[in-house]
Amino acid sequence: MSAIEIRDLGKSFGAVRAVDGVSFTVEPGTITGYLGPNGAGKTTTLRCLLGLVTADSGTALVNDRRYVELPHPLSEVGAVLEATNFHPGRTALNHLRIICTAAGLPLARADEALEQVGLADVAGKRVMGFSLGMRQRLALATALVGHPRVFILDEPANGLDPAGIQWLRGFLRHLAHERGAAVLVSSHVLAEVEQTVDNVVIIAKGRLVRQGSLAELVSNGDAAIRVRTATPGELVPALERAGATVTQADGFLRVTGLDAERIGQIALDERVVLTEVGQERSDLQHVFLELTGEGES
Amino acid sequence: MRLIRAELQKLTTTRLWWVMLAVTVAYALLQLGLTIGFAGVTGDQPGAPAIPGRDTREFQDLLWGLGAGGAVFPMVLGVVMMTSEYRYQTITSTFLTTPRRARVVVGKLGAGVVVGLAFGLVVLALTAVAVVVTVSIAGGELAFTGATARIVVGTLAVLMLYTLFGIGLGALIRNQLGAIIAAVAWVFVIEAVVSAIPALQPVGKWTPGGAAAALTSSGVDLGLGTDWLLPAWAGGVVLLGYALVFAAVASTTTLRRDIT
């Protein structure tokens, strides 16, 4: 059973097709990054999953049920949506206590959750004085009160300072890899999640463009070998005869279609001196921008 | 039940409830003061005074029924109980916690009953003090008749039902300012018109104001007449009907909308 299962999900707002036939799953114990530029349909997908937006077609299930059918939603799913949904005149602790009351959870969970996100010191302060980062932590505390095993987070790094982002990464890894939770986290900035996620789902203009493990996504890019030589004029024709595609840039030869060993062999045969041979790590950011049609960085 | 408690928690953890209570109390004091001040005053017109004398039984019943006039304040509180969820986007976490949305409104209506009754009891306590003090000073005889009891219960019912009316209206009109303006315009403009013009009184008795008047009518004619009103019980049913119909219509329309 997948913790999250989205199948052929579709949603239009007026003439705008916000989500168009998106399907993917998230398994327990893994972190999935849901990536795409702003306006790609990430938030709409997540809100469909949480029963806040009604999908036009397809299904979005958590633990095999629609969110509205979950008997104790907060004990199964923790959600972090935009950072502004607090009453400014209410204290952080009271905000969480109200949720505990409504969900039938012990009030002590409110204090625990604030402790977990590092807001225990400001529990009695009104939310109106909170920075964006503190609101984001409070939102995360809201997701934690029910001790759920599925987490759905929409741009949780927004407003966090670098230390906060570092903390969030560690926390998400702890939830998924140590406590076995399924984590779905959206972002429009690949670098934010690149070091955290196990799997990646990329969406652009409402459509799924790629999904797979992070490693797959990287190797799916055209893995090139960078070669440096003082005499490219002798090497290039030989490489091309062997079936490689070669481009020259910045004094390097960028060779695709051959592996490093083969290139070395050809260089030896042609008696060309190589001063440098290296695997070019496919730049994930490059792949991301290419896939989402945002052009070169 | 836990949803009602959560809704009451929402109210007591922000400041608005006691601001509205203070305004309600101030308004009740003003009304009591003016009525007591002008009691028995005949003015230029010959004949009976507009407000009965302080030593009369009618005066006591009139005083008891004044509290219902402040019902507009718990009504506004009811509107805000619903619309502030949209204004501050707390509706997102409310619906995440309680995804069956109609239950949220039922919880709020339940909390509205508690809030409305609490406001009513405060107003009636003030009224009781005013009645006892004024009548004692004027040398009249305190009388708590069956009619008085009916007015007291009616006042409680009006404050409670107006709170529910506000919640229902707020569910229907999600925009806070729009909902408050609609509610206040209704009470002060439309109702004033339909109850003042005799030709419109057959319509007027079915309005929330007409229904409230039926619930608290002391039989004292303050110039607009009283015979056109519904019986008290029917007034209560009409007011409750408004709240429930608004809430039910909202549950199938505005409440279903996407939260984006």
Phi then psi for B195, rounded to 5 degrees? -90, -20
- Asked if B136 is an interface residue toward chain A (Cβ–Cβ < 8 A), one would say no
Chain B residue at shortest CA distance from A79: B96
User: Cα–Cα distance between A95 and A50 in angstroms, integer?
Assistant: 20
- Whether residue A280 has pLDDT greater than 80: no
Average pLDDT, integer, range B126-147: 87
Q: Is the Cβ pair B99, A85 closer than 8 Å? A: no
Report pLDDT for A296. Answer: 39
B13 contacts on A by Cβ (under 8 Å) = 90-91, 94-95, 97-98
B15 and A CB contact within 8 Å? yes
Task: Give the mean pLDDT of A267-279.
Answer: 88
Using a CB-CB distance cutoff of 8 angstroms, which residues of chain A are in contact with residue B259? 47, 52-53
CB within 8 Å: B260 and A90? no
pLDDT tens column, A122-136: 999 999 999 988 999
pLDDT at B206: 83
Give the model's pLDDT for residue A249.
76
Q: Is the pLDDT of residue A220 over 90?
A: no
Residue B256 forms contact with A (CB below 8 Å): yes
According to the 3-state scheme, what is the secondary structure of A163-211? HHHHHHHHHHHHHHHHCCCEEEEEECCHHHHHCCCCEEEEEECCEEEEE
* pLDDT tens digits for range B54-83: 888 888 888 888 888 888 999 999 999 999
Does the CB of A151 have a partner CB in chain B at under 8 Å?
no
ipTM of the complex in this document: 0.86
The answer to whether A105 contacts chain B (CB < 8 Å) is: no
Where is average pLDDT lowest: A208-212, A277-281, B204-208, B240-244?
A: A277-281
Alpha carbons A209 and A201: distance in angstroms, whole number: 8
Which residue type sits at B224? Answer: L
Confidence at A153, pLDDT banded by 50, 70, 90: very high
Tell me, what amino acid is at A3?
Answer: A
Q: B230 and B213 in contact (C-beta within 8 Å)?
A: no
Q: Looking at beta carbons, which residues of chain B come within 8 Å of A86? A: 88, 90
Closest chain A residue by Cα to residue B99: A68
Exposure string over A79-109, b if 16+ CB within 10 A, otherwise e: bbbebebbbeebbbbbbbbbbbbbbebeeeb
Average the pLDDT over each of A107-116, B41-50, B164-173 and give the range with the smallest value.
Answer: B41-50
**Which chain B residue's Cα is nearest to A53?**
B258
Q: Which pLDDT value is given to residue A230? A: 86
Q: What pLDDT shows up at residue A281? A: 61
- Give the model confidence (pLDDT) of A155-184 as tens digits: 998 888 888 899 999 999 999 999 999 999
All residues of chain B having their beta carbon less than 8 Å from the beta carbon of residue A84 are 88-89
CB A251 within 8 A of CB A276: no
The pLDDT mean for chain A works out to: 89
Q: Is A51 on the interface with B (CB under 8 A)?
A: yes
DSSP 3-state of A227: strand
Report the share of chain B in percent with pLDDT over 70.
93
